[in-house]
Amino acid sequence: MTEQGLRILIIDDEPQIQKLLKVSLQAYGYHLYGAVSGQEGIQQAAACKPDLAIVDLGLPDMDGKTVVRQIREWSTMPVIILTARDQEQEKIEALDAGADDYVTKPFSMGELMARMRVCLRRTVVNETEPVLHCGGLTIDLLQRKVAVDDREIKLTPTEYELIKYMMQHAGRVLTHKQLLKAVWGSSYNEDSHYIRIYVSQLRRKIEEDPAQPRYIITESGIGYRLMGR
């Protein structure tokens, strides 16, 4: 996917942030749209149909999490949260509301643009696409086979469902709650120790060095992200 011509919506009431992002991102060929309130942002999202939205949590009329929830009612476009709030719970709530990633203020443009590229590359994968790839990690959905660098890995059914869900959302931060609901169901909402146990097992099977994982990256206190670096 080329960056040229992609539409980016910035929902932030800080003029300095709006100016910084517009100048920086326009230099890379993005088309920029701006909104200074949650309600205006939701309206712009519907009218402009952006390819990605950057949403500040601290908006004057509503919380950024509310904006994300409302956008998620009708759109699957990537959403990156900007927050000056460094509390883990705020980030978890934003991700559970439907955000794809977050960047904490103050941030570097290099970091933000890297997160944007990951979000824009990630496409919604469905079961009609039989093979998923993430770096050297491959899943054949039809045969339920997992391989690392062309070497088949034997997984339990639960391990398979967990890595499959992470592959379908590669590059995205997935909270413990999202992973539990996807693999074990909503009745296991608070049992995050299940995730830690199975991630540890997966790492032993797919990582060259489980202590320095290449694929399953821990987002401390929040969840995990599957990367293919």
**SS3 of the chain:** CCCCCCEEEEECCCHHHHHHHHHHHHCCCCEEEEECCHHHHHHHHHHHCCCEEEEECECCCCEHHHHHHHHHCCCCCCEEEEECCCCHHHHHHHHHHCCCEEEECCCCHHHHHHHHHHHHHCCCCCCCCCEEEECCEEEECCCCEEEECCEEECCCHHHHHHHHHHHHCCCCEEEHHHHHHHHCCHHHCCCHHHHHHHHHHHHHHHCCCCCCCCCEEEECCCEEEECCC
pLDDT 10s digits, 135-148: 899 999 888 999 99
| Domain spans, the chain | 7-121, 131-226
Q: Is the distance from CB of 105 to CB of 57 less than 8 angstroms?
A: no
pLDDT 10s digits, 50-78: 999 999 998 999 999 999 999 999 998 99
CATH match for 7-121 among 3.40.50.2300, 3.90.1150.10, 3.20.20.30, 3.40.50.150? 3.40.50.2300
Q: Is the pLDDT of residue 133 over 60?
A: yes
Q: Is the distance from CB of 95 to CB of 124 less than 8 angstroms?
A: no
| Closest CA relative to residue 124, chosen from 180, 175, 71, 170 | 170
| Closest CA relative to residue 40, chosen from 7, 9, 3 | 9
Rounded to two decimals, the pTM is 0.79
For 76-100, what is the mean pLDDT? Answer: 88
* pLDDT at residue 83 in the model: 85
Confidence band, pLDDT 50/70/90 cuts, at residue 129: low
Supply the mean pLDDT for the chain: 89
Q: Is the distance from CB of 189 to CB of 181 less than 8 angstroms?
A: yes
**What is the topology classification, in CATH, of domain 131-226?**
Arc Repressor Mutant, subunit A (1.10.10)
